[in-house]
Amino acid sequence: MGIVTDKLPGALEKVPGGNVLVTRFDEIINWARASSLWPLTFGTSCCAIEMLMATGGPRHDLARFGAEVARPSPRQADLLILAGTIVKRMAPRLRTLYEQMAEPRYVIATGACTISGGPFIYHSYTTVRGADEIIPVDVYVPGCPPRPEQLFHGLLTLQKMIKEGETIREPGVRRKPVISALPEGITLEDIQGEMKELLVKENVVDVQHAVDKLKWPSGLNEQSSGKSGANESGAGDGT
């Protein structure tokens, strides 16, 4: 198991003969969707070595984030990691690939080249200045090439966006694209400390908190909290 970044949203209740999970359909679909993104192997140049090969390797291991099943066919993929320069001759092919992917589809643009043209921005007669001239992009990951850790940060950002994002009533609503750069002055120790804190905190599930967060219609809320001390009994099983 790798890092569990988020638990299944919902409230777990003990009833005789098993448990009952109370949750919302949107939440559970988004949770499942965000945790099993299948990327398309689309690497055109230098960034591909870092984004597709080094991250797939044993040290960085994309599998920890549930996104290691790289597919060469766009029909089976739902995440397009743009790794490498897009030139004018490749642009129609990229558009075709994007349109062949099934909805919902997400795009991470990695590297300076896919953001703005990168080192080839001036005087080049072939480079496309940014992939967002051709297809919509969800997350930008800057760098030339970005480190594998940076791609992971981008991936976590995308997962967060998906979890907060769509509902069944309004599928495919696009949020504004974001840049996934670490803020300045953050060190490895900070991240590790935060991670540790999070793991300790998440070890105990506060059902009441989850129920409050979900904002049920008021009648349901009363019902579930009214049922004999669900807080304490649910806390043990939730982990």
Partner 1 sequence: MTVEVSSLKELVEQASGDDRSPDTQEYFVNMGPQHPSTHGVLRLVLKLDGERVLRCIPVLGYIHRSIEKISEHMNYMNCVHLTDRMDYLSSIMNNWAVSKAVEEAAGIEVNSRIQYIRTIFAELERIQSHQLWWGVLGMDLGAFTPFLYGIRDREVLNDVMEETVGARLTMNYVLPGGLMADIHPNFVHRVKEFIKYFRPKLDEYDDLLTNNVIIQERLRNVGILSPQTAVQYGATGPVLRGSGVAFDLRKDHPYGVYDQADFEVPVGTIGDSWDRYWVRVEEMRQSLNIVEQLLDNIPPGDFLVKKLNSKIKIPEGRYYSQLETARGVLGVFIASDKKDEPYRLHYRSPNFNNLWCLEPMIKGDYIASLIGAMSSLDLVIPDIDR
Compute the distance between CA of residue 210 and CA of residue 87 in angstroms, rounded to an integer.
48
Q: Residues 39, 43, 84, 165: which binds ligand SF4 (CB under 6 A)?
A: 84
Does residue 59 belong to the site contacting partner 1 (CB under 8 A)? yes
Q: Where are the alpha helices (DSSP H) in 9-110?
A: 25-35, 47-48, 91-100
Compute the distance between CA of residue 154 and CA of residue 141 in angstroms, rounded to an integer.
6
CB of 186 to ligand SF4, least distance (A): 22
In the bound state with partner 1, the residue whose beta carbon lies nearer, of 89 and 215, is: 89
If DSSP codes are grouped into helix, strand and coil, which group holds residue 201? helix
CB of 2 to ligand SF4, least distance (A): 26
Strands (E), the chain: 11-15, 18-22, 39-40, 79-83, 106-110, 139-141, 178-179
Residue 41 near residue 52, CB atoms below 8 Å: yes
**Region near ligand SF4 per CB under 6 A, out of 13-21, 23-31, 43-51, 182-190:** 43-51
Does residue 117 belong to the site contacting ligand SF4 (CB under 6 A)? no
On whether 140 is known to bind a ligand per the annotation, the reply is no
CB of 52 to partner 1, least distance (A): 10
On whether 51 is known to bind a ligand per the annotation, the reply is no
- Count of CB atoms situated within 10 Å of the CB of 181: 15
**Six token digits for residue 33:** 């969707």
On whether 46 is known to bind a ligand per the annotation, the reply is yes
Strands 79-83 and 106-110, how do they pair?
parallel
Does residue 25 belong to the site contacting partner 1 (CB under 8 A)? no
Compute the distance between CA of residue 124 and CA of residue 92 in angstroms, rounded to an integer.
18
Does residue 50 belong to the site contacting partner 1 (CB under 8 A)? yes
Compute the distance between CA of residue 70 and CA of residue 79 in angstroms, rounded to an integer.
9
Interface of this chain with partner 1, residues 112 to 151, rule: CB under 8 A: 119-120, 122-127, 144-145, 147
Report the partner that residue 29 touches, choosing among partner 1, ligand SF4, none (CB closer than 5 to 8 A by kind): none
Q: Residues 55, 85, 127, 180: which binds ligand SF4 (CB under 6 A)?
A: 85
**Six token digits for residue 63:** 């599998």
Does residue 118 belong to the site contacting ligand SF4 (CB under 6 A)? yes
What residues are designated binding site for [4Fe-4S] cluster? 46-47, 113, 144
Which residues make up each annotated binding site?
46-47, 113, 144
Binding site for ligand SF4 (CB under 6 A): 45-47, 84-85, 111-113, 118-119, 144-145
